Chain A
């Protein structure tokens, strides 16, 4: 076993932290040979959110076929994988353990290193996977259904937490508001779609914590939306959705931009499931252009949960820390390893 991967080391990545069953083969943290994502959205839609037990059951059923497909698409049906990386946290513990257990078993059979990967770090690496020319340091805005983080990435594996949400995650706010407006699940894409026909300036929703720290708060905004709809039932759903989205994007981009300027970042990276939002992507790019900063907004497929980013982050972790022991488990509350 080698602790130092070659430039072209072939890593199989496995991701099962929430409701996507994913496997991917990536060479040298750069070249995606295959990336298979099996989404469970339809299984959870009628419940209006991810049901952990249903997610875990689906992972058990889907994971082996998804891995098989990733290996075949990568042209490696008979082996050739040189390391196996899997998300060990944060996430739903029952779901995480399905991927971790399968990954360790594969590493054992193939006699290659196993690498436990932090899901948040994997999202950071989604950017590098599509743009290896990205220069450090960068500021990363990581927004998903479970997290809203503003991170100063000084070097590979070296992160400073600049700010985070003090209540709801941005994606959670999208889901809750979409449910309230009767737009269905998942809320992000639903609001994005409806908002296209609305006026983002129709209602001036509050921008929480605008002048203070780099922390975020979205629960007040959600309440403001509910109160406004109660008081003004005549206002169209499209206008409410557009105005809500505008408020979220405004806060996210303003703070990310301010942080990037403050720490002297060379670039800004957007990541996480909410980064698939079309207005956020556009506004984020505009902000970077205005500041003459290198912007990186990964493709939508790379923003949402996938295993290519896990393989890429695994390559970097293998290089810095070596293999993870085979007696590793999962950690639902794993944090990003930040320096203080």
Chain B
């Protein structure tokens, strides 16, 4: 079982390839927001480095978001096309799960936060479970201050990961019992994606390319404005 993993939901873009032997090759680039340019060469690089032929791939895993829309779509569009052309199934994993997974060895409450721009973060809470992490909240979108208030209310020791935590560290710096993980944990990793997808592949938790949908967590502005207008229209 060889799995190709593609992640592109933050300013980083990456790919990894692996299977039951673990991750065989991985590469990430976080500079320049050049997802569309870099993704295909990165995929080709990791599979050549691991000496894997593309037809040996039996599943394409992809980061579903939430994250930066354009980058996210580059990864998902490429992953769907590859899965279709290779005639293999897909596995989608949320970006916040990918952020939490590398810090699974802590017993603290894990908070994964991705910069959602416009002064907001996408975030979710996680707990350590045997072999990984389990999400213990919904995926949420809110201001760093909203998140800080939630953290104030929790009695737990907290470890925060993700570029959303780092970008808005001012909101969290003053909180007792809260530690921010460094830059090394700022972006979802394609290696984590391959590891998590492998566990799901063993349980055959696949989806078809046309069924896989991104997690946006935010409506297009036009729809938000339209809804507001509708509501105002009804109120008048």
Contacts and interface: CB of A to CB of B under 8 A. Distances in A.
Interface of A: 46-47, 51, 53-54, 56-57, 59-61, 63-65, 67-68, 93-94, 97-110, 326-330
A68 B208 CA distance: 13
Contact of A93 (B38, B70, B76): B70
A94 B81 CA distance: 17
A47 B222 contact: yes
Sorted nearest first, the 5 A-B pairs with minimum C-beta distance are A53-B220, A102-B81, A109-B85, A105-B78, A105-B81
Contacts of B213: 61
Which of B41, B74, B213, B216 gathers most chain A CB within 10 Å?
A: B74
Residues of B in contact with A, size category: 35 or more
A108 B210 contact: no
A63 B212 CA distance: 12
Nearest to A47: B222
A64 B220 CA distance: 22
A60 B73 contact: yes
Contacts of A98: 73-74, 77
B66 to A, nearest CB: 13
A105 B78 CA distance: 5
A51 B78 contact: no
Contacts of A63: 77, 80-81
Contact of B40 (A59, A60, A105, A110): A105
A101 B69 contact: no
11 contacts: A51-B220, A56-B70, A60-B76, A64-B209, A68-B84, A94-B70, A101-B77, A326-B40, A326-B41, A326-B44, A329-B36
Given A98-B73, A327-B40, A330-B36, A105 B85 contact: yes
Contact of B78 (A67, A68, A101): A101
B102 interface: no
Contact of B214 (A60, A106, A329, A330): A60
A139 B77 CA distance: 37
Contacts of A330: 36
A33 to B, nearest CB: 18
Output the residue of B80, B209, B213, B216 with the most chain A CB within 10 A.
B80
B69 A102 contact: no
A56 B73 contact: yes
Contacts of B150: none
B78 to A, nearest CB: 4
B39 interface: yes
Contacts of A47: 222, 226
B220 A102 contact: no
A329 B32 CA distance: 13
Contacts of B69: 53, 56, 94
B231 interface: no
A53 B86 CA distance: 29
A329 B37 contact: yes
Contacts of A106: 81-82, 85
